[in-house]
């Protein structure tokens, strides 16, 4: 009870300490193209084919020998014989994407021609190669198409399909064990009615699991563990095969808050007490090379910890390239006050062109997030923002 956080670490420092101890997962798996959206390539892809694999017409028109069109113009057209073969004085119709026949070295676009019976009037001069896609023009056999670490989007997958690939080697998704702790928790699976006074349904672990899944991990959502160091220890030890462990609850300095002590006992406690509000009681550690995040039990504080530490942690584990966070510039419809020394995570709602901060019971009320469209971060050294000031707004996903 008399315990306090010995030290408060800034968010940036805490995140750096944490990320530098996380190694990316090297385990790979082969999966089909149909299921690889959002996955990360575990090896460079080298084309085994030329694209196109034949000389391809780039326009609807007439395949010709370019030399036959010398000097052709609307006022001085050249007449060519229509034929199945292209030789001196003959021409063959081709549509876009079709094979340009042997003998031809250019295509005159249909708009520059007039057909009359067995003849075609060529009304423009073309140079050799005009409107002809050469073999390997898009992709050459042996060329690196994507590097290792490339995040696969549907347009990329279509490229792989066009090269004849059916499967790709990608990094395995990180398995994240989610351990809810707390004597006050009741499982939703067991309790259908309103729980007894003082007891609440477990929901932070569920929320964490759904975010883990959204961010590219595989959640392993475990049973509730009582507020007891031995039980918490056993739960951690039973999950040291996971790639990351989240402990939810028990992070503060109260009588029943054991999470950080247990992490320190089993491994290394990197940080306990972080300069973010809500979210201060968050703790970060490493046990047997596995990153561990202790999420505060207050749901909004837990959410902040998920955003600030679990999301980047999963990205690093999974080699998911850092995507710049989308930012919306908006003016404040009301002022924000903030505590110096803490990054303040302020929930806001869009209100026309502006955003309005949600006030009220802050971190212990998840509805303040559920009502919010996004959040504004007030830096440690800023006391707040005035009404009308422009701020950066991030979406809550």
Site residues for a second copy, window 109-128 (CB under 8 A)?
110, 115
Residue 154 contacts a second copy per CB under 8 A: yes
Q: In angstroms, what is the minimal distance from the CB of 166 to a second copy?
A: 7
Whether 378 and 346 have beta carbons less than 8 Å apart is answered as yes
Number of residues that bind a second copy (CB under 8 A): 75
> Please, which of residues 207-226 interact with a second copy by CB under 8 A?
207, 210-211, 213-214
Residue 140 contacts a second copy per CB under 8 A: no
Is the CB of 33 or the CB of 79 nearer to a second copy? 33
Using DSSP, state whether 14 is helix, strand or coil: helix
Q: In angstroms, what is the minimal distance from the CB of 366 to a second copy?
A: 5
> Please, which of residues 58-77 interact with a second copy by CB under 8 A?
58, 60
> Please, which of residues 352-371 interact with a second copy by CB under 8 A?
361, 364-367, 369-370
Residue 40 contacts a second copy per CB under 8 A: no
Among 78, 80, 86, 159, which residue sits at the site for a second copy (rule: CB under 8 A)? 159
DSSP 377-391: EE-TT--EE-TT-EE
Whether 185 and 250 have beta carbons less than 8 Å apart is answered as no
Bridge partners, residue 347, by sequence: 375
Residue 297 contacts a second copy per CB under 8 A: yes
Is the CB of 102 or the CB of 387 nearer to a second copy? 102
The verdict on whether omega for the bond into residue 278 sits within 30 degrees of 0, i.e. cis, is yes
**Per-residue tokens: 317:** 């584990």
Residue 103 DSSP class: T
Among 44, 46, 144, 161, which residue sits at the site for a second copy (rule: CB under 8 A)? 161
Among 145, 170, 225, 317, which residue sits at the site for a second copy (rule: CB under 8 A)? 145
Residue 106 contacts a second copy per CB under 8 A: no
Whether 58 and 98 have beta carbons less than 8 Å apart is answered as no
Among 12, 13, 34, 237, which residue sits at the site for a second copy (rule: CB under 8 A)? 34
Whether 232 and 257 have beta carbons less than 8 Å apart is answered as no
Q: Which stretch binds a second copy (CB under 8 A): 184-192, 272-280, 287-295, 382-390?
A: 184-192
Q: In angstroms, what is the minimal distance from the CB of 49 to a second copy?
A: 6
C-alpha distance from residue 65 to each of 54, 57, 59 (Å): 18, 14, 16
**Per-residue tokens: 363:** 């971190």
- Of 202, 201, 212, 214, nearest to 177 by C-alpha is 212
The verdict on whether omega for the bond into residue 52 sits within 30 degrees of 0, i.e. cis, is yes
- Of 255, 254, 264, nearest to 294 by C-alpha is 264
> Please, which of residues 306-335 interact with a second copy by CB under 8 A?
323-324, 326-328
Q: Which stretch binds a second copy (CB under 8 A): 133-141, 237-245, 261-269, 270-278?
A: 133-141
Among 136, 149, 195, 226, which residue sits at the site for a second copy (rule: CB under 8 A)? 195
Alpha-carbon torsion angle 186, 192, 193, 196, nearest 10: -20
Q: Residue 389 and residue 21: Cα distance in Å, rounded? A: 38
Per-residue contact track with a second copy, 259 to 288, x per CB under 8 A?
A: ------------------------------
């Amino acid at each position: 009870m008399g315990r306090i956080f010995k030290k408060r670490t800034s968010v940036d420092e805490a995140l750096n300490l944490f990320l530098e101890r996380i190694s990316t997962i090297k385990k790979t798996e082969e999966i089909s193209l149909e299921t690889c959206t959002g996955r990360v390539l575990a090896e460079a892809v080298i084309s085994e084919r030329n694209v196109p694999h034949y000389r391809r017409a780039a326009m609807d028109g007439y395949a010709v020998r370019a030399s036959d069109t010398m000097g052709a113009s609307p006022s001085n057209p050249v007449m060519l014989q229509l034929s199945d073969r292209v030789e001196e004085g003959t021409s063959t119709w081709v549509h876009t994407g079709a094979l340009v026949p042997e003998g031809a070295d250019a295509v005159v676009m249909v708009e520059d021609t007039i057909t009359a019976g067995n003849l075609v009037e060529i009304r423009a001069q073309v140079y050799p190669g005009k409107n002809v896609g050469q073999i390997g023009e898009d992709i050459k056999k042996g060329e690196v198409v994507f590097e290792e670490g490339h995040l696969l989007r549907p347009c990329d997958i279509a490229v792989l399909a066009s090269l004849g690939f059916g499967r790709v080697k990608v990094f395995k998704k990180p398995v994240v064990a989610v351990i809810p702790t707390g004597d006050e928790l009741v499982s939703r699976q067991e309790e259908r009615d309103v729980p007894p006074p003082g007891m609440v349904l477990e929901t932070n672990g569920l929320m964490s699991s759904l975010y883990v899944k959204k961010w590219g991990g595989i959640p392993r959502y475990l049973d509730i563990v009582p507020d007891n160091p031995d039980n918490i220890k056993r739960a951690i030890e039973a999950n040291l095969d996971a790639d990351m462990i989240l402990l939810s609850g028990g992070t503060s300095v109260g009588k029943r808050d054991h999470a950080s002590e247990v992490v320190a006992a089993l491994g290394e406690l990197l940080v306990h007490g972080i300069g973010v509000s809500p979210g201060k009681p968050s703790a970060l550690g490493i046990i047997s090379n596995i990153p561990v995040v202790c999420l505060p039990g207050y749901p909004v504080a837990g959410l902040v910890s998920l955003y600030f530490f679990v999301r980047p942690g999963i990205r690093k584990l999974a080699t998911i390239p850092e995507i710049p966070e989308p930012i919306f510039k908006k003016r404040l419809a009301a002022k924000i006050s903030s505590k110096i020394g803490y990054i303040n995570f302020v929930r806001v709602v869009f209100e026309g062109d502006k955003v309005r901060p949600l006030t009220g019971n802050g971190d212990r009320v998840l509805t303040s997030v559920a009502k919010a469209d996004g959040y504004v971060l007030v830096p440690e050294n800023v006391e707040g923002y005035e009404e009308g000031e422009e701020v950066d707004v991030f979406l809550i996903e």
